[in-house]
Amino acid sequence: MQVLGIETSCDETGVAIYDSEKGLLAHTLYSQIGMHVEYGGVVPELASRDHVRKTLPLIEEAMQIAGLLRQDIQGVAYTAGPGLVGALMVGATIGRSIGFAWKVPTMGVHHMEGHLLAPMLEENRPEFPFIALLVSGGHTQLVKVARMGSYEIIGDTLDDAVGEAFDKTAKLLGMGYPGGAALSALAEQGDIKRFRFPRPMIDRPGLDFSFSGLKTFAVNTAATQGLDEQTKADIAAAFQEAVIDTLLIKCRRAIQQTGWKRLIVAGGVGANRVLRQRLQTMLANEGGAVYFPRHEFCTDNGAMIAYVGCQRLLAGQQDGLEIQVYPRWALESLPPI
């Protein structure tokens, strides 16, 4: 089955074609970040309008790259939530309409299920069951994945998501939006010993996270120390160190509690080099293994949506003719595959 996937939940328009036998045939992506950067965050109305402009040209491009004609497509998948309602409506309307015109079934996909299963697009893919660490701009969750389609959230953030904490701290240090990647690059030049940030929640049992205190700690450190270039790098390094330590401790705890020794990491923060390295070492010590999507599939993309849509369509699931999106949507409410 060859499935066209469309992702428009936030500020990236992603399109891909996934073949259940041959794997990924094509993917195209347009990032709107350059447009939102002057506002310091995503402007929902501008995001929707830009998805309207970009989605069809990207679909045409992906079809050309894959060398396919419309009659080669057997299903269409689009992100139906969670995300910005207007942005979601664009992808859902286009996806549903193409399905209607081409007379093929369509499937609304959960964006976080897409992130969660993105490692399945790689050659080195995990077997079920596994633990997933979802770390994006909007989510920080530990999820037990018994099998495809079965998700149990065992740890969640009580306040800021980890990507959000990265972005807010980056903003404090004078970086553009979203500053997570820039902050981690700056951290490479910092001295991790100069400041010691707290490791939130590690002394409490359980698997929940809290990151807003780290942001406050960064604000206070900046206020007392001033913000010369070296201090900025040292704050970035201390902040990143505290975040990674905290994530590591909770992942280890999840592995020990469940006895499941496979961990997958997904979402934009999964692109962080130090996090990847440290998790690899930790899992090796625990006798397990960690799996990551390639860098470009850590952040939003159409490939993960095409993949999940394909699995659900193959299982006989499909959406009705009415177009529905879910700005908030619990991962645990998804039907099994």
Which residue's CB is nearer to ligand KG4, number 98 or number 247?
A: 247
Token output for 328 = 């908030």
Distance set, CA 9 to CA 19, 111, 171 (Å): 23, 8, 23
Q: Exposure pattern of 283-310 as b/e (b: 16+ CB <10 Å)?
A: beeeebbbbbbeeebbbbbbbbbbbbbb
Rounded to the nearest 10°, the torsion over CA 201, 167, 241, 119 is 90
Q: Which stretch binds ligand KG4 (CB under 6 A): 50-58, 134-142, 279-287, 315-323?
A: 134-142
Contact map string, positions 274 to 313, toward ligand KG4, x by CB under 6 A: -------------------------xx-------------
CA gap 314, 56 in Å, rounded: 25
Work out whether 269 is an interface residue with ligand KG4 (CB under 6 A).
Answer: yes
Q: Which stretch binds Zn ion (CB under 5 A): 38-46, 134-142, 283-291, 319-327?
A: 134-142
Q: Which of 268, 293, 302, 309 binds ligand KG4 (CB under 6 A)?
A: 268
Bridge partners, residue 156, by sequence: 141
Token output for 270 = 């999964």
Smallest gap, in angstroms, from Cβ of residue 111 to ligand KG4? 7
Which residue's CB is nearer to ligand KG4, number 75 or number 268?
A: 268
Which residue's CB is nearer to Zn ion, number 73 or number 162?
A: 162
Work out whether 300 is an interface residue with Zn ion (CB under 5 A).
Answer: yes
Smallest gap, in angstroms, from Cβ of residue 246 to ligand KG4? 14
Token output for 87 = 């942005």
* Contacting positions for Zn ion (CB under 5 A): 136, 300
